Amino acid sequence: MAAVNRAWSRQRVINDCACWPDEAERARWIHLFADEHMEKTWARETAYQNAGVHGRYFLFTGETEVTPRGLKAFIALCEMGAMTRRCCASRRARRSGERPRLPTPSISIGSAGA
């Protein structure tokens, strides 16, 4: 396992949430996990994995916050195999400064009476 998953550092925590569109959410994450005075509620590995999933959600759905529609699209993308162990899209986005977007799959939400 790479050191990025095991060792806490302010820069690593900042990198974890760099692609998140909401500045307030990034600031909250950094405050919770990068500030030395805060007691960590998760192990570094857990924080790193959760931040990665959150970041992939934003990168692949194009949403700016977690929504029911976005969550359904994200789950559908995962089921279609669009997610890989390593998120190449996030690496490209960090290098280029842009947010990649995949087409949102057709999702049948169903009728209100069903």
Would the pLDDT of 21 be above 70?
yes
pLDDT tens sequence across 63-99: 888 889 988 988 888 888 766 555 444 444 445 555 4
Q: What is the mean pLDDT of residues 6-25?
A: 88
CA distance 66 to 41: 22
Question: What is the arithmetic mean of pLDDT over 38-54?
Answer: 85
The DSSP code for 41 is S
Does residue 84 contact residue 102 with C-beta atoms inside 8 Å? no
Contact 55, 47 (CB under 8 A): no
Q: How many residues does the chain have?
A: 114
State residue 96's pLDDT score. Answer: 53
Type of residue found at 8: W
Higher pLDDT, 41 or 51: 51
**Residue boundaries of the structural domains of the chain:** 3-96
